[in-house]
Amino acid sequence: MRLYDHLVRAARSSAERPAIVFGERRIGYPEYLSEVSRAARAFLRLGVQPQERVALLLPNWPQFCFAALGAMAAGGVAVMLNLRLQAEEIRHQLEDSGSRVLVLVDRFKGRDYLETLARIRERLPALEKVIVVGTPQPGQLGYADFLALADGLEPERLVQVVSVRSEDETLALLYTSGTTGRPKGVMFGHGDLIRNCQSYLSAIRMTAEDRRLTVVPMYHTSGMVAVFSTILAGAGVVLLDDFSADECWRAIERERCTVFGGVPTILTLMLRSPLCGQVDASSLRVFVSFGAPLPPALVRAARERGLDVLNVYGMTELGIATLTQFGDPPDRLERTVGRAAPHVELKIADRQRRPLPDGEVGELAVRSRTMMKGYFGQPEATRACFDAEGFFYTRDLARRLPDGYLEILGRLDDMYIRGGVNVYPKEIEDVLATHPAVQLCAVVGVPDPVMGEVGRAFVVLRPGKTALPEELRAYLAERIADYKVPAAVEIRDALPLNSTGKIIKKALRPPQEESRS
């Protein structure tokens, strides 16, 4: 079944349930299906051909769901663009994807996206149609007028188009964060996305009775899977277009949300919000963590408040690779990212890509039926990250335990060598995060004339708390080996974060070291 088929089924089986809640707007599954159908027929009227790219530059609004699913149902490929991109970055991804159609918001959070588009429009000859959610400019199509195009195409025509789509066809293109070079377009097929959603639903035991709060942008794999998996379950999704810990607690209370998720930073800020424990959040049964290492102290803090935490490991190229489960032993919940998800095989390899036994540290490689089809238009880059057996090399350092649980020790590029000894920053960060004054922290390797490399820690303190750098170093010295203790600790007001709340470590390294990323 394709995603559109699951939406048709949900419109029948969950007709009375809210599918999407956004502010005061409540959208049932029959209306959801109608909106997606109209968008799909409108795209067909615009001449969208099978596998043609349709770019989306939108916040977490219902129109994102309608336009993305509509483009997919019409046989196109939804190109998810990050709202935080600057003009040249947007131009590169539109040009790289060859998008002929763009759906974008006019203004969001004080930024004029139409002005951004105007600056690059002349250098995008392939871009023919611009559809605006908001007020269009001359030569552009308003979203309502775009939907009106659907009236010229019978619904039966859409049924015919959907029926010939294969699960192997690409339906979405998401770009990497570009930490190892220019962002690359990651291709996902219908079957890839469906299997990711099924793994997610199975892990969190989602049913039609659930309501999932989503603040992670849908242009990230985790956000896309979180939103679209609710369709398979016939459950509801509550959309927020910006993160505020207080507003999340209010939404959980107001909408009786049962599932929430995001990077560990989100959970940290939620637990430290003044509203934590002050609102009725008894409906919330699980927080799903992904996108960054999960500190053990954070798992314990959440469980002390009666909240289960599940940990998911994946990346743009992989989708969901491993996950913890309800009932896992506490030490496995705190120390690992769980075991392989369905359809997934894991391998730990040395630098020559030879397999290593359990307990040894090496690069994690993954082979699955949930991963990407490849990088769009970059066959050489695709071949470079796969071996002859079809394993994708993640550049993450990992150790597999005898019972199959996986420990992630950080990025291969994050590891530094101090006096000939490998040091893994995540081990240090996990301990530093347990200090009562520490809110956020990151450790990177920096050059040293004697040791080759040493660690430098960057710390954001909790509001109202104080701690001196030497105090934090002493705290670490009591708990980890001396060679792991950072040579310096720097207190900062904030750390650089990407759009999912993940710390951007390359921005913390000295300029001459950024090539490591």
Q: CA 498, 503, 508 angle in degrees (round to 5)?
A: 110
d(CA 506, CA 517) in angstroms, rounded, equals 6
Dihedral over Cα of 477, 483, 484, 490: its sign: positive
d(CA 433, CA 436) in angstroms, rounded, equals 8
Joined tokens for residue 185? 């377009």
Q: At what angle do helices 264-271 and 296-304 cross, to 10 degrees?
A: 40
Contacts of 214 (CB under 8 A, 6+ apart): 60, 223, 226, 227, 237, 238, 239, 240, 261
DSSP secondary structure letters along 450-512: TTEEEEEEEEEEPTT----HHHHHHHHHTTS-GGGS-SEEEEES---B-TTS-B-GGGTS-GG
Distances (CA, A) of 44 to 101, 143, 366: 12, 15, 37
CATH 3.40.50.12780 fits 3-190, yes or no: yes
**243-369+391-411 falls under which CATH superfamily?**
ANL, N-terminal domain (3.40.50.12780)
Query: Which of residues 115 and 295 earns the better pLDDT score?
Result: 115
d(CA 38, CA 67) in angstroms, rounded, equals 9
pLDDT digits (tens, 9 = 90+) for 219-273: 999 999 999 999 999 999 999 999 999 999 999 999 999 999 998 889 988 999 9
What length is written for the chain? 517
Stated pTM of the model: 0.86
Residue listed under structure tokens 């020559």: 352
d(CA 48, CA 98) in angstroms, rounded, equals 13
Helix (H) or strand (E) holding 298: helix 296-304
Helix (H) or strand (E) holding 308: strand 308-315
Fold of 416-516: GMP Synthetase; Chain A, domain 3 (3.30.300)
Half-sphere exposure in the Cβ direction for 42 (13 Å, CA): 26
pLDDT digits (tens, 9 = 90+) for 24-60: 999 999 999 999 999 999 999 999 999 999 999 999 9
CATH 3.40.50.12780-classified regions of the chain: 3-190, 243-369+391-411
Joined tokens for residue 369? 């039926």
Main-chain dihedrals φ then ψ at residue 187, nearest 5 degrees:
-95, 125
Q: Give the percent of the chain with pLDDT over 70.
A: 97
Q: What is the pLDDT of residue 443?
A: 96
CATH 3.30.300.30-classified regions of the chain: 416-516
Q: What is the pLDDT of residue 379?
A: 95
pLDDT digits (tens, 9 = 90+) for 400-427: 999 999 999 888 888 898 988 889 899 8
d(CA 290, CA 258) in angstroms, rounded, equals 17
Q: What is the pLDDT of residue 107?
A: 98
Confidence band for 510, pLDDT divided at 50, 70 and 90? confident
